[in-house]
Structure 1
Amino acid sequence: MTLGCARNDVDSEELAGRLAAEGWDVAASADGAEGDADVVVVNTCTFVEQAKKDSVDAVLAAGGGSPGGAKVVAVGCMAERYGAELAEALPEAAAVLGFDHYGDLPSRLDDVLAGRPLASHTPTDRRTLLPISPVKRPEAVERGSIPGHEWLPEVPRQRLDDAPVAPLKLASGCDRRCSFCAIPSFRGAFVSRDPRDVVAEAAWLADHGVAEVLLVSENSTSYGKDIDARGAAGGALERLLGELAAVPGMRRVRVSYLQPAEVRPPLLRAIAATPRVASYFDLSFQHASAPVLRRMRRFGSRETFLALCREIRALDPEAGIRSNVIVGFPGETEDDLAELEAFLAEAELDAVGVFGYSDEDGTEALDLPDKVDTAEIAARVERITRLAEHVAEDRAARRVGTTVEVLVERGEDADDEAEDGHWVGRAAHQGPEVDGECRLVGDDDLLEGLAPGVLVTGRVVDAEGVDLVVEALAVVDDTGADAADGQHVGATPVGAGAW
């Protein structure tokens, strides 16, 4: 059971792979295995207060579906962050394990089943440790099974679903010190994965039915700063995008978690123009008022963020831009909120996640003065959410008449078969699960031949909120014919080449 972000999804599949390698029968849910589960592993989240509550509820409920009383083990960010404290508060959990237990999880679960006592995880500020994190993989071994490459790392991963899109971890940890964020304290320092391992895992995913990978990390724009002597500006991410675009069977590569202060023109060009890379910019603005951003220990302003959006749309007018914002941060005034509203109206983003500020243990913001009342924060969230939804719906409506490429994900029924000829997928400007989707209509013969993972060229004929209705025109073949929507499939990869 996995809660939280796509980074946790990767961790869960890695843990599943380790368990399967040691002979465990692994299912995505406690009732998905044949018979009753002996152990339920809950991968927890601690991003915001609601996520903590959801994680606790999941641990409490995890054993309820098993008449034999499955043992419940908590892992993930909340387990790492609170350790023994969480174990004391949740006696229902047979064990609370931190990130350092991931490498030997099969042995730890053996201990749980045998009733052998396990010392509860003791949290440590991982910023003080060497940058060791769950992202690290074994060194590459000679396999020669990927065309064009003479290596393939052991990939300790087992897919827990058959969706045609899957997250792929670029790095773990973060070196930034945003005043509202506790992630660096339990995820540790920033560590880039070896690019060869990233490409090899993408090839492994493609071999297992994945048509799109979503590159995830705490801060993707920092990728390579610990690999290349020139730092992140050395073009490591741009080169990696070119390599990933060339993976056989991979139809789309998408980058997430971009830090606006670290984005440089070469990266913008690579995302906008690299073949098979979605022209999609997931930019973590957080606010647009310069005074609020400074209190957040972040850089930028309404003017600089608007300039960045203009630069992106000069490269590709149809590029997708999404972001998240926090309202109700300590000291936020009506003028600050008006500045955020003006930015959202001018920037015309495709999607905006709106969060209300909540105190987080161990953060600088916890002790900041001028806290905003909880009821007022809720009112501001509702106010900004209404504006964000209006802006996103207007942006979607203006896509009517344009040509897009849709990655087919599922039918409208639960069996991945088209209901009345309709399939559902996403265009390049739509990130998985958060940014709306496309419903395919059109020629019955064409639609009947579709399946999850197929890429289709289509014309947008209507908008339903942020969702689009797309008339399917043609299937994009493996050579990249009929490329559109910022994908540029079939061209020479930008940044491809030797490391």
Structure 2
Amino acid sequence: MDNKKVAFYTLGCKLNFSETSTIARSFKDEGFQRVEFDEKADIYVINTCSVTDNADKRFKTIVKHAQKTNEDAFVVGVGCYAQLKPEELADVDGVDLVLGATEKFKITDYLNDLTKNEHGEVHSCEIDEADFYVGAYSFGDRTRAFLKVQDGCDYKCTYCTIPLARGISRSDKLENVLKNAAEISAKGIKEIVLTGVNIGDYGKGEFGNKKHEHTFLDLVKALDEVEGIKRLRISSIEPNLLKNETIDFVAQSETFVPHFHIPLQSGSNEILRQMRRRYMKELYVDRVARIKYTMPDACIGVDVIVGFPGETDEHFLETYNFLNELDISYLHVFTYSERDNTPAAEMQEVVPTKVRKKRSKMLRGLSAKKRRAFYESQIGNQFTVLFEGENKEGYIHGFTENYVKIKAPWDPELVNTLHHVKLEKIDEDGLVRVQFISEPLPA
């Protein structure tokens, strides 16, 4: 397969990005050359997501794009949608191979012949066979890496297909996570974002073994000791699994940043029960209060779903008011969409699509207001900014440790460097202008 070209497209979450990178490295080991997705390649690999309807639809568009670039290319679908609906994906015109949850990491084993197939060939396990762990990490850009520490989920949220797509909760061994972190550090990358499906469950199900050998707190403490990494960020963690001990450790850590992303999904206890979430909103209030008590400038992001079956106007207003009063920084708003083989898809009192969209728009407006208020509260403060690698209309962007997005006049010397800055003012585009108060911090 020497000199054959391969291109990748990733839909969905940071976890998918980390896995795409790992799959790409397996191609490199086999002598393939990686090219951009809009370039001509012999193989196009599309890593799918199935959290929303939109991701399903986008798959077809991406396949068409690949065929337009090279009609003879071999097209492979992997990932969550490939596990949930392999036949549906194989039926898409131009798709040659579909690999499920366990097969995707052995993708090069299935590529003996790159002749186009009349119909997509499917290799997909029963999901209960996905009981082993494959480590992964990715470089989103030159400044940060996504490090996978956990996979799968044992929760039974009524709207979610992820347990069907990824299997039981299982974790990487601590020594392997630390080895991957050291490899990332050796590449000069300054920030690691911890990813997984349910990372607070870390330590559970190592290779199908259900006992916790290490806890999430053990993981956090061990990663804090890795040399060369300037920043560690926890991507998303369930409120019931974010313990006081972890919050308190992050508060005193030099490396872990004061930024938490905590799924809420609804501000109504009644809806939370219908969703089979593992907490009530009172616990969520307690988590936010603990974070803000130990880290007053911490950034807190929130996932919320609108239009879940049975969500009345009163339930929605309860959620809106709950979030409005909560000391949080931004929202990720998801419009509920029915997923096959989930209990929620069978529930009565379906919320009309028009109402779902209206509620989504209201919460997105609230998110913009919350982010603005958070940024305004940080003006005048001094932080460290890690600058990114792109020239965006004459400006370079970066993030403070507490996730304020800043801009400065483009200077290639700033790429992947850390600087002490003072936040000066919010620009018309909503980003924050800064005043430099130091030379680059040592690498």
TM-score (norm 2): 0.90
Q: Is residue 2:438 matched to residue 1:474?
A: yes
TM-superposed deviation, 1:413: 3.9
TM-superposed deviation, 1:252: 0.6
C-alpha distance in structure 2 between counterparts of 1:303 and 1:15, whole Å:
41
Q: Which residue does 1:40 correspond to in 2? A: 44
Q: Is residue 2:155 matched to residue 1:176?
A: yes
C-alpha distance in structure 2 between counterparts of 1:462 and 1:226, whole Å:
48
Q: Which residue does 2:103 correspond to in 1? A: 101
Q: Is residue 2:57 matched to residue 1:53?
A: yes
Where in structure 2 are the equivalents of 1:155-170 lying within 5 Å? 162-170=141-149
Q: 1:473 to 1:184 in 2, by over 3 A?
A: same
2:398 alignment partner AA = G
Q: Which residue does 1:25 correspond to in 2? A: 33
C-alpha distance in structure 1 between counterparts of 2:211 and 2:244, whole Å:
15
Q: Is residue 2:34 matched to residue 1:70?
A: no
TM-superposed deviation, 1:411: 4.6
1:173 alignment partner AA = G
1:177 alignment partner AA = K
Q: Which residue does 1:92 correspond to in 2? A: 94
Contact 1:10 1:167 in 2 (8 A): yes
Contact 1:224 1:231 in 2 (8 A): yes
Q: Which residue does 1:205 correspond to in 2? A: 184
Match of 1:393 among 362, 372, 378: 372
Q: Which residue does 1:131 correspond to in 2? A: 131
Local SS of the residue matching 1:469: strand
TM-superposed deviation, 1:469: 1.8
- CA offsets, 1:17-66, max 9 Å, x none? 111111111224251xxxx3111111111110011111221122212112
Q: Which residue does 2:114 correspond to in 1? A: 112
Where in structure 2 are the equivalents of 1:253-272 lying within 5 Å? 253-272=232-251
Contact 2:103 2:125 in 1 (8 A): no
Q: Which residue does 2:11 correspond to in 1? A: 3
C-alpha distance in structure 1 between counterparts of 2:165 and 2:140, whole Å:
28
Q: Is residue 2:407 matched to residue 1:439?
A: yes
- CA offsets, 1:454-479, max 9 Å, x none? 11111111124653222121146348
Contact 2:90 2:119 in 1 (8 A): no
C-alpha distance in structure 2 between counterparts of 1:275 and 1:161, whole Å:
23
Contact 2:95 2:120 in 1 (8 A): no
2:215 alignment partner AA = A
C-alpha distance in structure 2 between counterparts of 1:231 and 1:337, whole Å:
39
Q: Which residue does 2:425 correspond to in 1? A: 462
C-alpha distance in structure 2 between counterparts of 1:292 and 1:14, whole Å:
38
Q: Which residue does 1:377 correspond to in 2? A: 356
Q: 1:428 to 1:230 in 2, by over 3 A?
A: farther
TM-superposed deviation, 1:122: 4.2
C-alpha distance in structure 2 between counterparts of 1:80 and 1:319, whole Å:
37
Where in structure 2 are the equivalents of 1:218-257 lying within 5 Å? 218-226=197-205, 236-257=215-236
Q: 1:395 to 1:162 in 2, by over 3 A?
A: closer
1:256 alignment partner AA = S
C-alpha distance in structure 2 between counterparts of 1:50 and 1:353, whole Å:
16
- CA offsets, 1:321-340, max 9 Å, x none? 00110011111122211211
Match of 2:286 among 299, 307, 312: 307
Residue identity (%): 26
C-alpha distance in structure 1 between counterparts of 2:430 and 2:210, whole Å:
40
Local SS of the residue matching 1:461: strand
1:429 alignment partner AA = N
TM-superposed deviation, 1:309: 0.8
C-alpha distance in structure 2 between counterparts of 1:342 and 1:116, whole Å:
54
TM-superposed deviation, 1:4: 1.1
Bigger relative CO (Cα 8 Å, ≥ 6 apart): 1
Q: Which residue does 1:490 correspond to in 2? A: none
Structure 2 unaligned runs (5+)?
1-8
C-alpha distance in structure 1 between counterparts of 2:211 and 2:441, whole Å:
37
Please, which moves more after superposition, 2-11 or 240-249? 240-249
Structure 1 unaligned runs (5+)?
138-155, 431-435, 442-446, 480-499
TM-superposed deviation, 1:343: 1.6
C-alpha distance in structure 1 between counterparts of 2:242 and 2:110, whole Å:
41
Local SS of the residue matching 1:267: helix
Q: Is residue 2:82 matched to residue 1:79?
A: yes
Local SS of the residue matching 1:221: helix
C-alpha distance in structure 2 between counterparts of 1:28 and 1:101, whole Å:
24
C-alpha distance in structure 1 between counterparts of 2:112 and 2:55, whole Å:
29
Q: 1:369 to 1:312 in 2, by over 3 A?
A: same
Contact 1:425 1:439 in 2 (8 A): yes
Where in structure 2 are the equivalents of 1:487-498 lying within 5 Å? none
TM-superposed deviation, 1:449: 8.0
1:187 alignment partner AA = R
Contact 1:306 1:343 in 2 (8 A): no
TM-score (norm 1): 0.81
Q: 1:226 to 1:100 in 2, by over 3 A?
A: closer
Contact 1:408 1:454 in 2 (8 A): yes
Contact 1:168 1:216 in 2 (8 A): yes
Local SS of the residue matching 2:233: strand
C-alpha distance in structure 1 between counterparts of 2:358 and 2:185, whole Å:
45
TM-superposed deviation, 1:7: 0.8
C-alpha distance in structure 1 between counterparts of 2:216 and 2:244, whole Å:
12
C-alpha distance in structure 2 between counterparts of 1:247 and 1:106, whole Å:
32
Local SS of the residue matching 2:123: coil
TM-superposed deviation, 1:226: 3.7
Higher strand share: 2
- CA offsets, 1:415-466, max 9 Å, x none? xxxx4xx531001222xxxxx621136xxxxx85843221111111112465
